[in-house]
Amino acid sequence: MALMTGKEYLESLRKMKTKVYLMGELVENFVDHPMIRPSMNSVAATYDLAHEDEHREVMTAVSNITGERVNRFCHLHQSTEDLKNKVKMQRLLGQKTASCFQRCVGMDAFNAIYSTTFEIDEKHGTHYHENFKKYMKFVQDNDLTVDGAMTDPKGDRGLAPHQQEDPDLYLRVVEQREDGIVVRGAKAHQTGAVNSHEHLIMPTIAMGENDKDYAVSFSIESDAPGIIMIYGRQSCDTRKLEDGSIDVGNPSYGGQEALVVFNDVFIPNERIYLNGEHEFAGMLVERFAGYHRQSYGGCKVGVGDALIGAAALAAEYNGVTRASHVKDKLIEMTHLNETLYACGLACSTEGVQTKAGNYQIDLLLANVCKQNVTRYPYEIARLAEDIAGGLMVTMPTDMDFNHPEIGKYCNKYFAGNSKVPVENRQKVLRFIENLTLGAAAVGYRTESMHGAGSPQAQRIMISRQGNINGKKELVKKLTGIK
C-alpha cells in the first residue's frame, strides 16, 4: 500500500490508541472531534491530491529505496528538481486548504536525518544510517504521516540542557539498555502531532560533551506507552463546535499543534539514529532548519494566494474594486507573495548533493527565504485587513443573521455590492478573519514568525553563510589593495 487515500488515512488513525487531552479532558474519539477534524482534513488532502493525474508529478516521486512511486512527503530528495517540486507541492496544498497541512516537518526531518546518520556512521562506525533506511522503507511502504519533532520546552534559555534546574526541560536519555534506551521529556509546539502515525525526534540545539544525554534522535509510534498529547489552544477555536456556522471562517480545514510528553518511553535499538554523539547535534539541527525554512517559501505562499484572493473578493463585495489604492494594495500583496516563492525556488535550484546521496538546499538562501517569511506575510495580512474593513471583526454572529426576528436587520444593514448576496460577504470576511486573526493565523501569521526558528536564528545562519570575508577580498582585488 504505497499510496493511501484520504479516507484510508483517517481510518488508519481510528485504529490507533493515541492519548489526546483537549481542554482538560481525555478525548476518546479524537478523529471525529469537531475541533480536531478540520486539521485532519488538511492532512487527508495530501493523500487525495497524490491520486489526481493533474498533480502526480509534484505530489509523488519514485523512491530511491524501493523503486516504487511514493507520496512526496515520504520522499528523500534525489535532485534539485525534487527540491523545486517540493516547494510547488507545498504551494498547491496551501492553495487547496488555506491552512497548515502538517506533513512538511516530517519530510524535512527525513532528509536531514538521512544525510546526518551517514556521516555519523562514517566517523563512529555506528549503524544509524542502515537503521534509518529501514525506517524510511517502512514509512514509504505504509505512506505514513510522521511528526518531525525538534522543539524542546527549553526552560531557562540562558542555560544549557544539563544546567537546567529541571533536567527534563530538554528531552533526554534516562536509561541505556542492551535492547534500547528510555527517554523522558517533552516536545512543544508540535505541528500535526495528534494527526501523525509516528514521531521522529531530533535534538533542538547544538550540544557539548556535558549534554550528550540530550543528543538523541529516534522514531516511535504516536500511541506508544508513555506518550501523552496535550492539544494546543488556538484563537477562536471553539467556533469549530458551531456546526455549519459561517463564523468558523474555514469550515473544512485547519492546523494543529500539541505538547507531546514522553514519560519514560522505551525506544528499541533499531529505531535509534543518534545516541550521545553530541558533535553531530548541530549538523542535524542546521540541516533540518534549512529544509524547513525552504518549506515556508511554498506553504506560506499557497496560503497567501488564498488570502490575496479573499482580499480581492472583499473589495468586490464592498464595491471598491475601481479604487486605485485597492488595486495597488493587491499588487503589493502579490509582489510580496511571489518574492517568497522566488526564494523557495532559488534555494532549491542551488541545492547540492550530500555524502549520503540525497540533496539539500542552499542554506544561505533558505535562511533568507525564512527571514522574509518573518516579515512579508505580516504585511500581506495587514493589507488584507485594510481592504476587508472593520466589519471583519465587528460583524454579528451567523446565528444573528439567521435569527427569525433580527436576521432581517443584519442582512439589510450589512449589505454591500447589491449584486452579491450578503451571505457571500459574510463568508469572505470571516475567512479573512480566520486567516489573519483566528485559528488559521497559527499556521500563517504567527507561524511565519516562530516556525522553523526565530528571526534571530535565521540571522545567525545568514551571518555564518554570508561570506563577508570573501566579499572583502573581491573589493581588494577590484581596488588593488594588497
Please name the residue ranges forming H helices in 21-142: 37-48, 56-59, 80-97, 104-124, 128-142
pLDDT at 338: 98
Give percent of the chain above pLDDT 70: 100
Q: Is 299 a catalytic residue?
A: yes
Coil, helix or strand at residue 148: strand
C-alpha cell at 38: 478540520
Q: Is this prediction's pTM over 0.95?
A: yes
For residue 258, what pLDDT is reported? 98
Q: In what order do the strands lie in the sheet with 20-22?
A: 25-26, 20-22, 227-231, 258-268, 180-187, 172-177
Of 145, 191, 354, 436, the catalytic one is: 191
Q: Choose the catalytic residue: 74, 104, 347, 369.
A: 104
The one catalytic residue in 292, 347, 369, 385 is 292
Catalytic option among 47, 135, 299, 376: 299
- Taking the C-alpha atoms of residue 112 and residue 283, their distance in angstroms, rounded to an integer, is 9
pLDDT of residue 441: 76
Q: Is 57 or 443 the better-scoring residue by pLDDT?
A: 57
Q: Cα separation of 35 and 270, whole Å?
A: 36
Known active-site residue 74: no
Q: Which whole number is the average pLDDT over 168-174?
A: 98
Measured CA to CA, the distance from residue 192 to residue 5 in angstroms comes to 18
pLDDT single digits (tens) 317-336:
999 999 999 999 999 999 99
The catalytic residue among 18, 77, 97, 100 is 100
H or E stretch at 182: strand 180-187
**pLDDT confidence of 240, banded at 50, 70, 90?**
very high
**Per the structure block, which three cell numbers stand in for 138?**
517502512
Per-residue pLDDT for 312 more than 90? yes
pLDDT reading at 166 higher than 80: yes
For the stretch 23-62, pLDDT in tens is: 999 999 999 999 999 999 999 999 999 999 999 999 999 9
Taking 90 as the threshold, does the pLDDT of residue 443 lie above it?
A: no
Residue 343 falls in the annotated catalytic set:
no
Task: Say what the pLDDT of residue 1 is.
Answer: 57
pLDDT in tens, 61-120: 999 999 999 999 999 999 999 999 999 999 999 999 999 999 999 999 999 999 999 999
% of the chain exceeding 90 in pLDDT:
97
> In this model, does residue 440 exceed pLDDT 90?
no
- Computed over every residue of the chain, the mean pLDDT equals 97
Is 191 annotated in some ligand binding site? yes
Q: Would the pLDDT of 442 be above 90? A: no
Give the count of beta carbons closer than 10 Å to the beta carbon of residue 329: 21
Which tens digit of pLDDT belongs to each residue from 265-306?
999 999 999 999 999 999 999 999 999 999 999 999 999 999
pLDDT value of residue 446: 87
Cα→Cα distances 354→111, 134, 305, 369, Å: 10, 19, 33, 21
Cβ(170)–Cβ(210) under 8 Å?
Answer: no
Question: What average pLDDT does range 397-416 have in this prediction?
Answer: 98
pLDDT at 2: 80
3-state secondary structure of 176: strand
Q: Based on the residue annotation, tell me whether 100 is a catalytic residue of this protein.
A: yes
Point out which residues pair with 25 in neighbouring strands. 22
